[in-house]
Every structure is written in C-alpha cells, then in structure tokens.
Amino acid sequence: MNSNYKNFVPAKSIPFVEFLINEHNFTLKIVNQRQTKHGDFRQLPNGKFQITVNNNLNKYQFLLTLVHEIAHHVTHQKFGRVQPHGQEWKAVFQHLMLPFLNPEIYPKDILPYLANYLKNPKASTDTDVNLSLALRGNIAESGKSFIFDIPFGDLFIFKNTIYKKGNKRRTRFECLNMTNKKVYLFNQNVEVKKYDGK
C-alpha cells in the first residue's frame, strides 16, 4: 500500500486516513500537478479502483481532496451510477469528513469555512472562495497575485494570455482577453501574474 501519503496529510489525520484506505479497496497514487484538477477517482480496465491526488497541494488541501475522491469511490460502491456530485455523494462526503473536523487536524482559521462548505459541498473546493483562500493560508504562489488584488483596469497574465481586469459581478470578475477580445469570468481566488509590459 502506498504509505508515502503520510507526508502529505496532517499528522493527526493519519489513523483516520489509514482506516479509510484499508476499509475501501483502492490504490492511491500521488501525481504531478494538473492544471484542471486536484484529484480523481476511476475504475481501471482490470476492475481495480485508483485515486490520484496532486503532489503540489498543502496538507489541508491534500486531505480534503483525498477524502473527496474516497467519497466518489464509496458512493460508487453503495449506489452504482449516480450524479458525480449529487445528493448521494454529498451525504457520503459529509459523513467521511466528520472525523477530520477537528482543531488538531484543521487549524481554527480553516475550520469554520470548512464546516460551512460541507453543508452543501460542491464539485470543487475552489468555488468556495473563503475556504479556498483559508486552505492556502491566504497566500498566493510565489510570483503570483490573487486576482482580487489586481487593480481595476490593470493587465495580468493567466496561462500565457494577457487579460484586463474589469468589473466584479456577484462572485467573479469580468476580464477581457486582450488576444480575442472576449470577456471571461474569473473566480476571485484565481492566481495570476501581474503584467509588467515586457
């Protein structure tokens, strides 16, 4: 069994994680960062189950992603084919996360946001701006800024494309793609590079 996950989760969560891994038969692979997802769950051609989680996540993100994916596995075992993030998955995910809602595992500045998110969990934790920021310690990756810190009208780079920051809608910013002149909506917690004109 892949035990190097122990370096990726908070120390006090290890007994619970170990229980979940032993209880539910799957292989855990820790993989290089993917742009579009933190983790995934799939059934392999040989009938076995595999969960992958990105290696660039901090311990709190990693644990939440791992339990999210285990919830997909358990939901699949219990209910067969259902909506990927439907009521069945939500109930399983909430149940599996309960032992981890503990100040010895998640710091007090994350717990309230995590508890709030779990009332009605979504497909991605990144859609919950407050939780996403708390999980990252409110710090953007080195050399990047959160989009909410970029002044209105300034240019920034996202995935090698230059955008101009526009108005805020309810929860997202309208940003103009300077190449195709289309407007795209960005979550407030997206990390971007400031454009310095070079």
What pLDDT, on the 0 to 100 scale, is given for residue 74?
96
CB atoms within 10 A of CB 171: 12
What pLDDT, on the 0 to 100 scale, is given for residue 197?
76
CA–CA distance, 51 with 61 (Å, rounded to integer): 15
What pLDDT, on the 0 to 100 scale, is given for residue 87?
95
Average pLDDT estimate for 182-187: 92
Bridge pairing between strands 27-31 and 161-168: unpaired
Per-residue pLDDT tens for 108-141?
A: 999 999 999 999 998 888 788 889 889 888 877 8
The CA-based angle 2-62-84, given to 5 degrees, is 95
Asked whether the predicted pLDDT for residue 10 surpasses 80, the reply is: yes
Q: Give me Rg for the CA atoms of the chain.
A: 19
Per-residue pLDDT tens for 63-76?
A: 999 999 999 999 99
* Beta carbons of 135 and 126 less than 8 angstroms apart: no
pTM of the predicted protein model: 0.81
What pLDDT, on the 0 to 100 scale, is given for residue 3?
55
